[in-house]
Chain A
């Protein structure tokens, strides 16, 4: 088929009034200022990144296209497996991810696999770029890989070099050798979800997972729920209160899945992000030796909050990636679907929808990159703003993509109904978007109080 010379309602790019040739006769000094190169939004955005991050972004994209794309739909509709079982295709993914350095990129070489150049920039920015590129292709597999990083972050933020040497480095070496060693992060309890994410609720909460002092260490008793990757993790950073104390005594323990008394109770049947299991795990008097305390006893709440402040940027990145994936799927649909002999993209209403989706996605990416660019200190207000706004707008963009595709969007093969189911999670975890709004206010408290006094 011959290429259409122009979309309906537009001049062709070589028309004298079209923006393309328009500036050719302007003075040579001005021309470069008004004549941008014809490039995709992705190329334009990547070009604004520092070179190390631009390289990282390209690497994440190519990893996602090569490894995640072909697995995305089959894994989403694969049968639910028993706890601890991993789909063979995902086992292969983890091996490749390990070898490619995708399980070890929280730390720079030679400890991990992140480039030293990238490490000059805030870690949360790199992690947000990674979450974006992986989520653009499959957010479920992204979560499988990212929940692992979330499990390692508490060890980094505890600043506990001994724990890094003892737990992280050997695990990283294993992963790089193609034998993935997965971590998970466990704060949520049956009776404390939001209360594990915000201080006001936590302050009055009777902890459900408790550590009792015993000879040479601690005995853990209790349950954690909805733990991403908790079923396949070999190491889990578990937050538990000390016996007879409140959440302010939270301590971070490194629990390994081979410790006697550790049990994976079940994995949930979820709406989306099905490549990653959400597990309920139980501790039946699990003995955890003293050297498995991460940081110091009672530092758990601080480590938890620091972890969340950092990881919420990545969740915002998931939102951006999901919005981008939905936008691309809708554009693809509009270009290949014909009605009355015309590709849908010729219709103005379709063009308006595409423009809205592209712009919304660009806007949330801009917000996130702007905040992450200088986030050497991961600020609570900024990370929460990005988390709730980027994910709320992302869901809206996915709804627009569904709307553009109409009835076709409801079909699994369209890919967009999966994106919708995946995207809905980003408004819930790492603190619901309501709790994240409250986190913005909590972080602004001093300024707000000062204004009350002034009034």
Chain B
């Protein structure tokens, strides 16, 4: 597809997002210790939709994950999420969660998938990343031994009590689930009641977002696609998009933590001088600085467009590298605050919890590395 977005367009679009994030979103946040009340979150989402950052079900909708055939498209979406996350990671993640069903319905060419306005796309398998079965499947390699059982169980766990967890604001009405049918990962639209949703309680981070545990069920409307090759591509693309979102939220979060730490180091006096002059503190801020620089470059690489599922090896490798860096940066930024970093009203502990949570969602660094190794071997 032809390039529609220029670098200049990208800059302009992101400065609008920045204005929205700093003007509209920040104004609604009472403090890091007060997760946004649900109605406020919903209002913000409507405003983000009206502003064109989060797509709705209409044909002409714009926003996250819409222009992914454009070489700049993935970058625009990822940087939009990053910009929102620098103000509030939970809101940024929620915008992504709202945009995913729109992307999927368009990609599957099934507008009816969006019949229920509020649906989610759970890409979190039961545990891990389907071990070696997933890279083999996505690379189009021969599935061996337990691979089929692994993929089936990973996406639709059958053992009693096993549930997949979705990190999304509760109250969604339908789920667009991937499932493995023995041949390919296809999609099914499931009414939420068929999945017996249970609140999974508070989570380590992303306070604005709920955790909902879903049972497995076959009930629902199949969404295809019929072509197994197409199915493979679409699932890989979905995982790439999720990876971009997770890393983008993490970078926004670290950017915020880094700026707060820099500010604190400039004003706090201990050991006879402003603490920014102590090498111990310089190392901490330097660690956040280098983590930002490195992850920014990794995200740039991950988001090179147009979106292609066969880049999943590179994208997972970059994600495996990015999350430990983001967590290191966040914990070191917190340390600059000493005891006050541990207090919720300062915002640093939230940034650290959010970073850790992002590391654990959608495959951990270790799982991503093992994916990459097998992907590399079988391709």
Give A406 Cβ to nearest chain B Cβ, in Å: 5
Contacts known (A201-B271, A269-B345, A406-B364); A226 close to B165, Cβ less than 8 A: no
Least Cβ–Cβ distance between B186 and chain A, in angstroms: 19
Please give, as numbers and ranges, the residues of chain A lying within 8 Å of B338 by CB-CB distance: 193-194, 428, 432
Indicate if A370 sits at the interface (CB-CB under 8 A). Answer: no
Contacts of B344 in A (CB 8 A): 268-271
CA of A395 to CA of B149, assembled, Å: 35
- Among B157, B334, B360, the residue within 8 A (CB) of A410 is B360
Which chain B residues border A272 with CB–CB below 8 Å? 342
Is B37 located at the chain interface by the 8 A CB criterion? no
In Å, the complex CA distance between A128 and B204 comes to 28
Task: Check B127 against A428 for contact (C-beta < 8 Å).
Answer: no
CA–CA, A337 to B159, complex, Å? 9
- Pair A409/B149 contact, Cβ less than 8 Å: no
What sequence of 0s and 1s flags, for each residue 140-174 of chain B, a beta carbon within 8 Å of any chain A beta carbon?
A: 00000010011011100101001001010000000
**Residues of chain B lying within 8 A (CB to CB) of residue A421:** 204, 349, 353
- Whether a CB of chain A sits under 8 angstroms from the CB of B39 is no
Q: Does A233 contact B (CB under 8 A)?
A: no
Residues on B with beta carbons closer than 8 Å to the beta carbon of A240: none
Query: Does B153 contact A410, Cβ atoms closer than 8 Å?
Result: no
Report yes or no: B204 in contact with A432, Cβ–Cβ below 8 A.
no
| Interface residues contributed by chain B, number (CB under 8 Å) | 58
Chain A nearest CB, measured from B131 CB (Å): 7
Among candidates A192, A339, A417, A428, residue contacting B128 with C-beta atoms closer than 8 Å: A339
A21 in contact (CB, < 8 A): no
Can you list, as one digit per residue, whether each of B200-235 has a CB less than 8 Å from chain A (1) or not (0)?
Answer: 111111000001000000000000000000000000
Centre residue among B278, B327, B356 by max chain A CB count within 10 A: B356
Which residue from chain B places its CB closest to the CB of A402 in the assembled complex? B360
Specify which of B154, B202, B271, B331 is in contact with A195 (CB 8 Å cutoff).
B271
CB of B86 to closest CB in A, whole Å: 21
> Does B23 belong to the interface (CB within 8 Å)?
no
Residues of B within 8 A of A399 (CB): 327, 356
Chain A neighbourhood of B154, CB < 8 A: 339-340
Which residues of A lie under 8 Å from residue B362 when comparing CB positions? 407
Tell me if B367 is interfacial: C-beta within 8 Å of chain A. Answer: yes
Q: Is B352 an interface residue (CB 8 A)?
A: yes
Could you tell me the distance between the alpha carbons of A347 and B367 in the complex, rounded to whole angstroms? Answer: 12
Per-residue interface assignment for chain A, residues 412 to 455, with 1 indicating a CB less than 8 Å from any chain B CB and 0 otherwise: 11000100110011011100111001100000000000000000
Contact (Cβ within 8 A) A413 B200 = yes
* CB neighbours of B327 from chain A (8 A): 399
Determine the chain A residues whose CB is within 8 A of the CB of B367 once the complex forms: 406
Q: A194-B270, A339-B154, A349-B370 are in contact. Are A271 and B127 (CB under 8 A)?
A: no
B185 to chain A, nearest CB (A): 16
Residue contact B342 to A410, C-beta cutoff 8 Å: no
Quote the shortest CB–CB distance from B345 to chain A (angstroms): 6
Question: Which partner residue on chain B sits nearest A434 by CB separation?
Answer: B280
B211 in contact with A411 (CB, 8 Å): yes
Given contacts A270-B343, A407-B361, contact A339 B153 (CB under 8 A): yes
How many angstroms between the C-alpha atoms of A395 and B357 in the bound complex? 15
Distance in angstroms from B161 CB to nearest chain A CB is 10
Q: Answer yes or no: A344 CB below 8 A from chain B CBs.
A: yes
Q: Is there contact, CB below 8 Å, between A428 and B280?
A: no
Q: Does A198 contact B (CB under 8 A)?
A: yes
A65: interface (CB < 8 Å): no
* Residue in contact with B360 in the complex, picked from A198, A278, A407, A425, CB distance below 8 Å: A407
Q: Which residues of B contact A432 (CB under 8 A)?
A: 335, 338
Instruction: Kindly provide the distance from the CB of B277 to the nearest chain A CB, expressed in whole angstroms.
Output: 12
Bound together, the chains give a CA A4 to CA B335 distance in angstroms of 46
- A384: interface (CB < 8 Å): no
Sampled A-B contacts (11; CB under 8 Å): A193-B339, A271-B342, A339-B128, A339-B150, A340-B150, A347-B131, A399-B356, A406-B127, A410-B205, A411-B201, A437-B280
- With contacts A410-B211, A428-B339 known, what are 17 further pairs, Cβ within 8 A? A77-B202, A193-B270, A193-B338, A193-B339, A194-B338, A200-B271, A201-B272, A271-B353, A340-B152, A340-B153, A399-B327, A406-B127, A406-B360, A410-B165, A428-B335, A432-B335, A434-B284
